[in-house]
Amino acid sequence: MRLIERYLFHQLLGPALLATAALSGVALLTQTLSGLDILVSDRQSPLVFAEITLLAMPQLVVMILPVAVLVAALIALNRLHTEQEIVICFAGGMSRWRVASPAFRLAILAALISLALSLWVQPLCYRAMRGLLRDVRSDLAATMVKPGQFTHPAQGLTVYARAVDEDGLIHDLFIDQTNGKGRDVTVTAQEGRLETRGGYPVLMMRHGANQEFSKAGVLNSLAFDEYAFDLRTLMPAREPVHYKLSDRYLHELFFPDLTRAWERSNRKKLLAEGHARLAGALYDIAFMAMALAGVLGGPFSRLGYGQRIGATALAALVLRTLGFAAQAAAGGAPAFNLLQYLLPLAATAASAVILFAPLRRAPSLPAPGLAGLTA
């Protein structure tokens, strides 16, 4: 890569990194707001919340990269063109391809990053996130005790607690359970904590009383300093994690296990997801080609390229919308999978035609002083 081409590449790389970081920050904020329920309702630690949020980022980055490439290319190319640096490159004898090649190198790099994220990093992170979410949902402390609420974690069992500290200490605990003899057993305690005894979860209740009616209808009450409430019967069955479309690797999308009912009934959707992963990287190149055609594919203008940039952004929005529509249609008719590739490839080809088409120049008129000499 020559010096001028290296300079143009760096002029594009900086805005691309900034746009990617800015859009990723917005996506991270959106993901954070949507996941606050893990902190509020499930009472998980901020570390678990941050881990789940970050594990969801690879898929968001894959969707962000084409937009970041488009924004960076439009900003950088518009600045280089209005400041006449591109004009100087052309005047120095550089061809359009040499001027555009650094931008295409950046787009190819972004496409390779998108492929790596979507084909390997995204399934790896999403599988880890599914397992973490399963552990969150099976957290007995979160499902049994909700401060200020009566919960029913199992049939015949009612649990209430006034408050739960950040370290897991439960205050003013009330448990009402129907035992195997059909009689209600009520246990109250000033405090409690979920612990593990002998490898099994128990709710250790301290400073309370156990009340139960006898067969004769007499209320028996027994005060205790410490009481272990066995939770083994409340533990949910640990079912295997079911991986969604976004959690699967490419070979699992194209070659699903047809012996399973879910894979058989969703085979078309699996294929559509696999083709969408591969075709998604083409939008990085297509958007860069559209930006190049929008700014460089016309005559020089000292007034800027606002109309061209607006038209290019609108065309990119329409193109990506059509891509999502093609993916949805391919989930019902596999023939539309071809359209997932044709859309970005057609946009790239059309942009290349506009970019490398020779400019029409107005015929030059002879100077007035030379008119008489030519006559």
Q: What is the DSSP string of 196-210?
A: EETTEEEEEEEEEEE
- The pLDDT value recorded for residue 137 is 62
Q: Is the pLDDT of residue 373 over 50?
A: no
Contact 314, 305 (CB under 8 A): no
What is the number of alpha carbons within 13 Å of residue 362 lying toward its C-beta? 4
Of 94-108, 149-163, 356-370, minimum mean pLDDT range: 356-370
- Specify the range with the lowest mean pLDDT, choosing from 59-68, 72-81, 132-141, 337-346: 132-141
- Asked whether the predicted pLDDT for residue 367 surpasses 70, the reply is no
Q: ∠ CA 180-183-185 to the nearest 5 degrees?
A: 95
Q: In whole angstroms, how far apart are CA 215 and each of 179, 182, 220, 223, 249?
A: 13, 10, 11, 20, 61
Summarised one tens digit per residue, pLDDT across range 230-242 is 777 665 555 566 7
CB distance 12 to 76 below 8 Å: yes
Q: In this prediction, what percent of the chain has a pLDDT beyond 70?
A: 82
With beta carbons less than 8 A apart as the criterion, state whether 263 and 248 touch. no
Residue 179 has pLDDT above 80, yes or no: no
Residue 105, pLDDT above cutoff 90: yes
The rounded percent of the chain whose pLDDT value lies above 90 is 40
- Between 125-129, 327-331, 343-347, the lowest mean confidence (pLDDT) is in 125-129
Is residue 370 predicted with pLDDT exceeding 60?
Answer: no
Q: What confidence tier does 342 reach under pLDDT thresholds 50, 70, 90?
A: very high
For residues 123 and 141, which has the higher predicted lDDT (pLDDT)? 123
Q: How far is CA 235 from the centre of its chain?
A: 32
CA distance 78 to 113: 25
Give the sheet arrangement for strand 150-154, strand by strand: 150-154, 157-164, 170-178, 184-197, 200-213, 219-230
Helix locations, the chain, DSSP H:
3-34, 36-40, 46-55, 57-82, 85-91, 96-116, 122-137, 140-144, 250-254, 261-265, 267-280, 282-296, 306-330, 337-356, 368-374
Write out pLDDT tens, residues 223-280: 888 888 877 766 555 556 678 899 999 999 999 988 888 899 999 999 999 999 999 9
Would you state the pLDDT for residue 358? 72
pLDDT digits (tens, 9 = 90+) for 38-58: 655 555 667 777 888 888 899
